[in-house]
Amino acid sequence: MNPSRYYQLHQNLIKKAIEELYYEELLRVKVTEDGSYKLDINNSISYRFKAISGPWDNIHITSDCMQKLIDDKEVSNFTIGDFFYEIQEVCQMDDETLVRYLEESNQTLYSDSIVDENLKDLNFKELLKKNYTSIDQLLPGHPKLIMNKGRIGWSLTDIDNYSPERRARFKLRWIAVRKTICQIGIDQKIAQNYLDRDGRQLNEKIDNNQYQLMSVHPWQWNNYIATQFLEEIMRKDIIDFGEGSINYSPQASLRTLSNRDARERHSYDTKVSLSILNTSCVRGIPGKYIREGYKISRRLEELIQADELLCHQLDILKEVAAVKVSKPSFERAELGSYRYKELLGCVWRESVEAKTSEAEMAIPVAGLLLENEDSSFVKELIINSELGAEQWLKDYTRVVILSLYRLQVEHGLGLVAHGQNTILVMENSRPSRLIIKDFHGDLRISTNSKHLDDESFNILDRLPEEYLIHDLLTGHFITVLRYLSRIMNFNGLLSEEHFYKIIANEIMQYHLEWGEPQNNVNLLRDRIEKVLVNRVRFSAGYSETSTRLKPLLGREIENPLKKYLEVRI
């Protein structure tokens, strides 16, 4: 990597940090006389850049070039490490948190260099021919989190061998686990059909009354399972069959893997424990949803099929089987890190390929944010659809936003719709339906849902409806649409005002047809609260507790959906 590109990657990450920490109320900027923006760190250090104000009390930095000044003299090269050291006091980070955060930043930058190379010369017209996994592997990471590819625990070799940006392919390890030491939840309607070819062959060799087959990520086996479960292996409570023969490839979430064998029908993806710290948590498999997960999926599908609107435009990837192995010496330490209680788990989920036809194209909703200096994916989709930007966005709103909204207001069910667990299905590049996935933690229920007494939903986290609506407001509008509206504006497709007016009008039409919900779940209410995710790490640090980190609430802001609904454009 040449020095110019290296420091540009640092600038890009600093720009993202300024945008996000401005939104999260930690940083304040000034507009200078020439219309540019200035961030004063102290009396001697400042950053200057071009930006525009966004509709969510946010800013979009528009220029590739950013200046850093020390005592009014421009600094030629500067890094993300410099930046966070300078704002450490503002972020209220102690030194231990700072150095761990900088470790995450350096890991993120390395992977950013690979992602940048993948996107730099990408022809988005060619992307129209790619399958779901190929597009998912291009995603640059969680849009809202600054250090979105920290992956603490992975070496450069691990990134090369197992990361989505490297389009890695590798073989899973197969083990049989004695049923007395594990939790199991399997939809008996599908028997053993969730297993791949390797699994089906091995299943014929074991005593199915005593043992359950499961897959293990090769990194997890080498770094945790072979040592931490040595006693179980010695006692034959775990039987190791070694690596299988089928290649798997990681999706953007790292631990969800797609079967890439040409001879398989690819009906099921495999989600496995991967005990690295990435974004907000260590990526293990919790035990909470193992036994009931397939029941949640089955019941959710029934509700959707019985709903007169959702049955036409919403589908799910059902979780059909799950296994988690317990380690009593870890489990009984109640206040110990959750990492050690989630070391060995596996979930099988329906694949996108199994739920779409050859005439359809499916992409992660976050794929709409793919862009480079020349163009963007959403622009190419709109051109190919022959609809025009306004009609395309109307269709997107009806299919994606209103489906998620109806789940909330009609059923009291919320999915944290961050763009990787929501899948846009299109015909001729036109939005036609939505598929949702990942119900082991991302699906919650409101405390006044009409389905509260449904046994299948007993283990879902329960939230007041005014908090649950943030699964859509923050999960989708702030985490996805805030960036999509910027891209469409920069590409000359729609102004941000027009973008949100179109969405607001479609929501209003939904209210007229189906009834307006009460104010605390109404997307057109006057004001909304911010939810802050990056600040949590600064205050909580890196000490692992028995539970995952929770976001913070910020101040209320004017709702742009309500604001632009009443504006003539």
pLDDT tens, position by position, 8-67: 999 999 999 999 999 999 999 999 999 899 999 999 999 999 999 999 999 999 977 899
pLDDT band for position 156 (50/70/90)? very high
pLDDT band per the 50, 70, 90 thresholds, residue 262:
low
The whole-angstrom separation of Cα 346 and Cα 349 is 10
Least confident residue range of 8-22, 94-108, 117-131, 382-396: 117-131
H or E stretch at 394: helix 389-396
Per-residue pLDDT, 263: 64
| pLDDT-based confidence at residue 382 (cuts at 50, 70, 90) | very high
Judged against a pLDDT cut of 90, whether residue 102 lies above it is answered with yes
Q: What is the pLDDT of residue 265?
A: 63
Q: Which domains, from first to last, does the chain contain?
A: 3-121 (3.30.310.280), 152-354 (no CATH), 360-566 (1.10.510.40)
| Local structure of residue 396 (DSSP, 8 states) | H
What band does 413 get if pLDDT is binned at 50, 70 and 90? very high
Give the position of tokens 């091995």: 202
pLDDT of residue 569: 67
Question: In the chain, what percentage of residues exceed pLDDT 70?
Answer: 99
Looking at residue 150, its pLDDT comes to 95
Radius of gyration, CA atoms only, the chain? 24
How large is the average pLDDT for residues 303-317? 98
- Start-to-end Cα distance in the chain: 46
pLDDT band (50, 70, 90) for residue 79: very high
DSSP string for 14-81: HHHHHHHHHHTTS---EE-TTS-EEEE-SSSEEEEE-EEE-TTS-EEE--S--EEEETTEEES---HH
Mean pLDDT of the chain: 95
Kindly give the pairing relationship between strand 51-53 and strand 274-278: unpaired
**482 to 116, 246, 561: CA distances (angstroms):** 21, 39, 12
How far apart CA 508 and CA 204 sit, in angstroms, is 57
Instruction: Assess whether pLDDT exceeds 80 at residue 365.
Output: yes
* Cα gap 503→398, rounded to integer Å: 9
pLDDT surpassing 70 at residue 264: no
CB 510 within 8 A of CB 402: yes
Query: Is residue 180 pLDDT above 70, yes or no?
Result: yes
